[in-house]
Amino acid sequence: MDGRVKEAIFRQVEREPFAQKFGLKLTALDEGYSRVEMTFTPDMENIFGLAHGGALFALIDEAFETASNSHGTMAVALNMNITYVSSPAPGSKLTAEAKEFSCTAKTANYDIKVFDEQGHLITSCQALVYRKGTPLPFLV
């Protein structure tokens, strides 16, 4: 992976207001691969006291965003299909891993899974991006 792209994506995630709001931390990045962590805090609970689907989606989407843009060109989401398997325990450290399993000039597909620190599957996602073919704007 191009080191300049890697550094720029790490820097952008650190600055991203949405990532800061949810405490999203990019911990690994390679071409077509990303790992992002988040701690499930009380302000992420739904009306039942469980993890809100939107909070889990935020974690998945950050891993998807960084993995799909790791090639150094802009990629935007076309479709995401998420299955919520279980709810994590309060205070759990959650890890999302996005892995590219096909990539063409115009599209790419990703398998994204979220696990808690005990290795329990929390969510599973299949996602598709459109690859615009233009350089990431923050590389210029």
- The domain ranges of the chain are 3-139
Task: Answer yes or no: is pLDDT of 23 > 80.
Answer: yes
Does residue 128 contact residue 76 with C-beta atoms inside 8 Å?
no
pTM equals 0.97
As a whole number, the mean pLDDT across the chain is 97
Task: Answer yes or no: is pLDDT of 140 > 90.
Answer: no
Q: What is the pLDDT of residues 117-126, one digit of tens each?
A: 999 999 999 9
Does domain 3-139 correspond to CATH entry 3.90.1150.10? no
> In sequence order, what are the residues at sequence separation of 6 or more whose Cβ sits closer than 8 angstroms to the Cβ of residue 108?
32, 68, 75, 100, 102, 128, 129, 131
Which residues in 15-52 are b (16+ Cβ under 10 Å) and which e? eeeebeebebbbeebeebbbbbbbbbeeebeeeeebbb
Does residue 70 contact residue 85 with C-beta atoms inside 8 Å?
no
